[in-house]
A and B are shown apart, each in its own frame.
Chain A
Amino acid sequence: MTTTIEKAPRGGRGLALRPLAFALPAIALLALLAFISLLVGVSDVSVSTLLRLFSHNDDDMATQVLVASRVPRTLALLLAGSAMAVAGLLMQMLARNHYVEPTTIGTAESAGMGMLIGILWWPDMPVFGKMGLAAVFALAGTALFLAVLSRIRLRSALIVPLVGLVLSGVIESATTFIAYRFDLMQAARSWMTADFSAIVQGRYEMLWLSLGITVLAMLAADRFTVAGMGQEFATNLGLNYKRLVAQGVVVVAVVTASVIVTVGIIPFVGLIVPNLVRLVVGDNVRKSVLWVAWAGALMALCCDLIGRVVIAPYEVPIGTVMGVLGSAMFLALLLSRRKRMGG
């Protein structure tokens, strides 16, 4: 709203220059963090090793660490962080509520259940099969949430995330029950807590798929903005609302499933990042979606770095770090809202 008022008198040149003025430092910041992420770890990797990588004639220990572990890890962080953030943004459009994201409405928990069942019944399934199964479950979980939501007539802004949190708790307890029955409790817990320490070459490539889908979602951002305004509005503009929602749910489910199968559940990125971005950029998805992807990657990098540094040479998994920081930020978000309402 404010942006349109500000922009009107500025004219074309200002419009063209302003995003660039923000984008360059943003990219620089992300690159800096990614660079730090390459250097931090148990075995020493120095700046000179990094430089040597480009002259590609060495295969000493440090270079190998870099190629086999550090680079994949950093890439995985960038991909997973931005994918989850964009999935969160999309979910918020579909549920028409700012306080939901795949890990608080049951999508992620359902995907986890699908993975567990896949491992129980078809242990030799290839990774893509696992992901497919997880995606199907994630789809079902998201659809269940939306169905429950549509049955609630009075949709106070806060009841939506409440129902979501409880639903994901119920799905999780069902998963725990299955895991308990088959003596897989510990294993299941360790798959599902996001952890990038096991990411090496050959174990993260599936995330490129989520990047592809995320980019597709970005291109369709306008449509999803319209979907976020409700069925009547979308239909009036000539869009097939139901199909649009179905497409959105598929995108969210596949992205979530690919991230969970590769690294585990990363909580709160999809919740915090879009909300923070919205505070700065506003509600227009086409404008904010790139920033959301950027900030998601940034947040994943930061949290992973914190986890790696805080009890070095050991690690705190990113799922835990994000759980602490993310829930604290979510609380702050909720309570600042209360202050605004004068409660």
Chain B
Amino acid sequence: MKTLSTSPSAAAPAPVSWLGTPARRLWLLLALALLASLYFMTSQVQAEWSFVLPLRGKKLATMWTVAFAIGVSTVLFQTVTNNRILTPAVMGFDALFQLIQSVLAFTLGVAAMQIPELSRFGMNVGLMVLLSTSLFVWLFRGQASNLHLLLLVGIVAGIFFRSLNNFVWRVMDPNEFTVLQDRLFANFNTVSLPLLLLSLPAIALVGIWVWRQRHMLDVLALGRDVAVNLGVNYQRAVMGVLVVVAILVSISTALVGPVTFFGLLVSNMAYQLMHSHQHRYTLAGSVLLGGLLLVGGQMVLERLFGFNTSLSIVVEFLGGLTFIYLLVRKAKG
């Protein structure tokens, strides 16, 4: 475990005895998530059920899709990079996705709007996979890559992509921008239904793939050298994981826009709670925790405080604090 100085085993409190195994804690989490979802669907209904249920159903499906995409992509990314502070979002991945969308819309103009949703999304994801993997390979080429340098490069790359994006928006035709904006800044309340329907099979496929690879992922987490010694085709495995990460980031960004620190919050909570290095627990745990946070958080904000779209802001704030905490703790250790 020399590479994982932020490893949860070092600092996590002893797990509660009657929830002694990760599996039991996972079941509890699942039960909580189901309860929260049920409550979300049925509480405080003041209009016709036939109106409320589809509306809330779409919102709920979006939240769980996003929770899955962010949770799984973050854990996978952290496994591959062998580090628990990195997330695809911190490394500027979703800013890159937005930039690709904007540049495509800008260069193709109205033509870009006429491409059907499916092939457009496919095109975006394809470009995203290509660009992000080459960026990644370029950054990780050196064996002795300095973590802090890498993080800094990622954050600044994110700023760079975002500023470039702002620039493209300034130059764009206002009409085209309006269409683009609808696609870039959907929130949980105004998600495009075709995009959601498109994401569900993609999520299902990714889910099956990841589940079948879970043991290989456990091996990957041991680091490059050990993995190679244990007979993993490292290059291929990492590429596969990165493609999956790129797909997931594209989905979550396309659905609800960029959220920088949410994945970090969820994955680190999952490591603490699951207290296990096995991916079947950490992956499932981070997805369930993510869903619980989103559904629960949305409910608290919506019904207690009467806000609508500010969940991502709150989550960003909490996630940012977590990030500082992890950085400071790591620096001390």
- Residues of A at the B interface (CB closer than 8 Å) are 99, 148, 151-156, 158-159, 161-163, 165-167, 169-170, 173-174, 176-177, 180-181, 267, 310-311, 314, 316-317, 320-321, 323-324, 327-328, 330-331, 334-335, 337-338, 341, 343
30 A-B residue pairs with Cβ-Cβ distance under 8 Å, sorted by A, are: A152-B327, A152-B328, A152-B331, A158-B146, A158-B149, A159-B148, A161-B152, A162-B151, A166-B320, A166-B327, A170-B317, A170-B321, A170-B324, A173-B313, A173-B317, A310-B171, A311-B171, A314-B170, A316-B170, A320-B163, A320-B167, A321-B167, A323-B159, A323-B163, A324-B164, A328-B160, A331-B160, A337-B149, A338-B142, A341-B146
Q: With A170-B320, A176-B313, A343-B146 in contact, is A163–B171 under 8 Å at CB?
A: no
User: Nearest-CB distance from B154 to chain A (Å)?
Assistant: 10
Task: Report the separation of the CA atoms of residues A323 and B324 in the bound assembly, to the nearest whole angstrom.
Answer: 24
Indicate if the CB atoms of A177 and B148 lie closer than 8 Å: no
Residues of A within 8 A of B130 (CB): none
Alpha-carbon separation in the docked complex, A314 to B243 (Å): 40
A148-B324, A163-B324 are contacts. A169–B316 as well, Cβ < 8 Å?
yes
Q: A165–B92 Cα gap in the complex (Å)?
A: 13
Are A169 and B153 in touch, CB under 8 angstroms?
A: no
Ranked 3 nearest A-B pairs via Cβ: A323-B163, A158-B148, A170-B320
List, in ascending order, chain A residues with CB within 8 A of B152's CB: 99, 158, 161-162, 165, 334
Say how far A104's CB is from chain B's closest CB, in angstroms: 9
Residues of B within 8 A of A170 (CB): 316-317, 320-321, 324
B310 within 8 A of A: yes
Which among B157, B162, B167, B316 is the interface contact of A316 at CB below 8 angstroms? Answer: B167
Q: Which of A167, A181, A314, A321 contacts B324 (CB 8 A)?
A: A167
Q: Mark B245-276, 1 if CB is under 8 A from A, else 0.
A: 00000000000000011000000000000000
Q: Is the interface of A mostly helix, strand, loop or mixed?
A: helix
Chain B interface size range: 35 or more
Chain B residue with Cβ nearest A179: B313
**Given A163-B324, A323-B163, A343-B149, 4 more contacts at CB 8 Å?**
A148-B324, A154-B332, A162-B152, A320-B170
Mark interface residues in B307-318 (1 if CB within 8 Å of A CB, else 0): 101100110110
> B142–A343 contact, CB under 8 A?
yes
A153 to B328, CA, bound (A): 9
Q: Enumerate chain A residues within 8 angstroms of B163, measured Cβ to Cβ.
A: 320, 323-324, 327
- Knowing A176-B313, A311-B170 are in contact, say whether A162-B153 is a contact too (CB < 8 A): no
Residue on B with the closest CB to A327? B160
CB of A154 to closest CB in B, whole Å: 5
List the A residue with the shortest CB-CB distance to B159: A327
Residue contact B313 to A156, C-beta cutoff 8 Å: no
Residues on B with beta carbons closer than 8 Å to the beta carbon of A166: 155, 320, 323-324, 327
Closest to A154 in B: B331
Q: Does B144 contact A (CB under 8 A)?
A: yes
Interface check B134, CB cutoff 8 A: no
Residues of A within 8 A of B200 (CB): none
Q: Which residues of A contact B324 (CB under 8 A)?
A: 148, 163, 166-167, 170
Minimum CB–CB distance for B131 against chain A, Å: 15
Q: Does B189 lie at the interface of the complex (its beta carbon under 8 Å from any beta carbon of A)?
A: no
Q: Which residues of B contact A321 (CB under 8 A)?
A: 167
Contact A331 B153 (CB under 8 A): yes
In the docked arrangement, what's the CA distance between A177 and B149, Å?
A: 30
Name the residue on A nearest B151 (C-beta). Answer: A162
Name, among B144, B166, B310, the residue most crowded by chain A CB atoms within 10 Å (CB to CB): B166
Determine which of A165, A181, A311, A320 lies in contact with B155 in the assembled complex, contact meaning CB atoms within 8 Å: A165
Write out the residue numbers on chain B whose beta carbons fall within 8 Å of the beta carbon of A148.
Answer: 324, 328
A151 to B325, CA, bound (A): 11
Cβ–Cβ contact B153 & A152, under 8 A: no
Q: Residue B156 contacts which of A155, A169, A331 (CB distance < 8 angstroms)?
A: A331
Residues of B contacting A159 with CB < 8 Å? 148, 327, 331
Among A166, A174, A311, A335: residue with most chain B CB under 10 A: A166
* Distance of A59 Cα from B162 Cα, bound (Å): 44
Known A170-B321, A180-B310, A324-B160; judge A162-B166 contact (CB<8 A).
Answer: no
Instruction: Confirm or deny: B107 has a beta carbon within 8 angstroms of a beta carbon on chain A.
Output: no
Q: Give every chain A residue within 8 A of B146 (Cβ-Cβ).
A: 158, 338, 341, 343
Q: How far is the CB of B10 from chain A (nearest CB, A)?
A: 16
Contact (Cβ within 8 A) A338 B149: yes
B43 at the interface (CB under 8 A from A): no
Q: For the complex formed, measure the closest distance between the CB of A179 and the CB atoms of chain B, giving whole angstroms.
A: 10
Beta-carbon contact of A320 and B166 below 8 Å: yes
Write the nearest CB–CB distance from B72 to chain A, whole angstroms: 24
Q: What residues on A are CB-neighbors of B328 within 8 Å?
A: 148, 151-152, 163
B145 at the interface (CB under 8 A from A): yes
Chain A residue contacts of B156, Cβ below 8 A: 327, 330-331, 334
Contacts of B145 in A (CB 8 A): 343
